[in-house]
Amino acid sequence: MENAETRGPESSSEVRVGMFSFAHMHAASYIHFLAQMEGVTLAGIYDDDYDRGGRIAAQFNVPYFRRSEGLLDQELDGAIICSENALHAPLVLQAAGKVRGILCEKPIATTVSDGQAMIDRCRESGTKLQIAFPMRFSPPVMELKSQVESGVLGEVYSVKTTNHGSMPGRWFVDAKLAGGGAVIDHTVHVVDLIRWIWGTEVVEVYAEVGRELLHPGLGMDDVGLLSFQLANGIFGTLDTSWSRPPSYPTWGDVKLDVLGENGLICIDAFEQNLHVSSDEAGKTSDVNWGSSGDEGLVADFVAMIREGREPSVDGEDGLRALEVALAAYESARRTDPVQL
């Protein structure tokens, strides 16, 4: 296997990126921002579903590949993987050593062993592995981190969080491909933010997980409530669900309420919106006017490749967040707290 480090830094500012699968909805956002970035060439799109990947390749006038090997042969600098969760590991293992950087959609994998294998292979081959946690690049979240670090709250006692969304359907409700339902889908985002803001780990999780409470016949969890303890003593909760109906103005939310001895800071990562009522759409929708976390994530990934630096959000970050989500499922099965 070729070692990505042996090729040295890129001799020019051009960064060649390949998109691997459009199974995950974030892929549409990532390619939109890639196409607008100076010095970035979209080398092609791989997707095993022609109706999905081929259509988008035609839209952006780039080559379509039905096999991942074909795209990996295009002298890529970076690979963005947005496949079904269970297919993250095979694609990362295949791309490692052939590109300088990989941006892998969250969760890193559906099992800890797959996640660790991805990290190990990328480390051995010299490929930088970055995990797609765009909420780190949300201005409200960045401001919250700054305020916490400034000490304005004094001693922090607790953090109450939510991550509600609409039920995504498709492969997201296939346990084999997704690895779980609403709990794995939404827990990893918030856990990553908590680890990033406080620079510490979740050490205990207790969870109650509901199956088919909101969507009868779904066959998997659609709601969960996690209580957790951080290594620094902070107590937290996460309300995670697929509870938003199709008529809801936004897809969902990411909210954090941080309570300290000097006060309370509340943020909503998706509050930068205008409320637009449309007779054509038949509902009121929230149209974003602010910064995009996806844009910040993609720009950071390209900068990582250009600069040859370490990822801002690495594989270990992805693995730690996955471990908490899986611990929540284990806690619900045992009806007891789980230590991490």
| Same domain membership, residue 57 and residue 153 | no
Asked whether 68 and 74 are in contact (CB, 8 A), the reply is: no
Q: Is 317 among the domain residues? A: no
Q: Is 117 among the domain residues? A: yes
| Same domain membership, residue 45 and residue 95 | yes
Q: Is 301 among the domain residues? A: yes
How far apart (Å, rounded) are the C-alpha atoms in residues 12 and 71?
A: 21
Continuous segment of H or E residues that includes residue 30: helix 26-36
Question: Domain count of the chain?
Answer: 2
| Same domain membership, residue 189 and residue 149 | yes
61 torsion bin: left (phi>0), alpha (psi -120 to 50), beta (else): left
How far apart (Å, rounded) are the C-alpha atoms in residues 14 and 270?
A: 32
Q: Is 249 among the domain residues? A: yes
How far apart (Å, rounded) are the C-alpha atoms in residues 71 and 79?
A: 9
303 three-class SS: helix
| Same domain membership, residue 206 and residue 335 | yes
| Same domain membership, residue 167 and residue 106 | no
How far apart (Å, rounded) are the C-alpha atoms in residues 282 and 81?
A: 34
**Structural domain boundaries, residue 196:** 139-290+323-339
| Same domain membership, residue 279 and residue 162 | yes
| Same domain membership, residue 120 and residue 220 | no
| Same domain membership, residue 203 and residue 92 | no
| Same domain membership, residue 209 and residue 92 | no
Quote the tokens at residue 225: 């409530």
Q: Is 328 among the domain residues? A: yes
256 torsion bin: left (phi>0), alpha (psi -120 to 50), beta (else): beta
The CATH number linked to 60 is 3.40.50.720
How far apart (Å, rounded) are the C-alpha atoms in residues 38 and 36?
A: 7
The CATH number linked to 180 is 3.30.360.10
> Which residues in the chain show pLDDT less than 50?
1, 6-11
Q: Is 105 among the domain residues? A: yes
Q: Is 68 among the domain residues? A: yes
| Same domain membership, residue 80 and residue 109 | yes
pLDDT of residue 17: 98
Quote the tokens at residue 48: 């095993």
Q: Is 315 among the domain residues? A: no
How far apart (Å, rounded) are the C-alpha atoms in residues 91 and 104?
A: 9
| Same domain membership, residue 174 and residue 96 | no
How far apart (Å, rounded) are the C-alpha atoms in residues 135 and 59?
A: 28
CB-based burial, 303-313: b 16+ in 10 Å, e otherwise: ebbbeeeebbb
| Same domain membership, residue 9 and residue 103 | yes
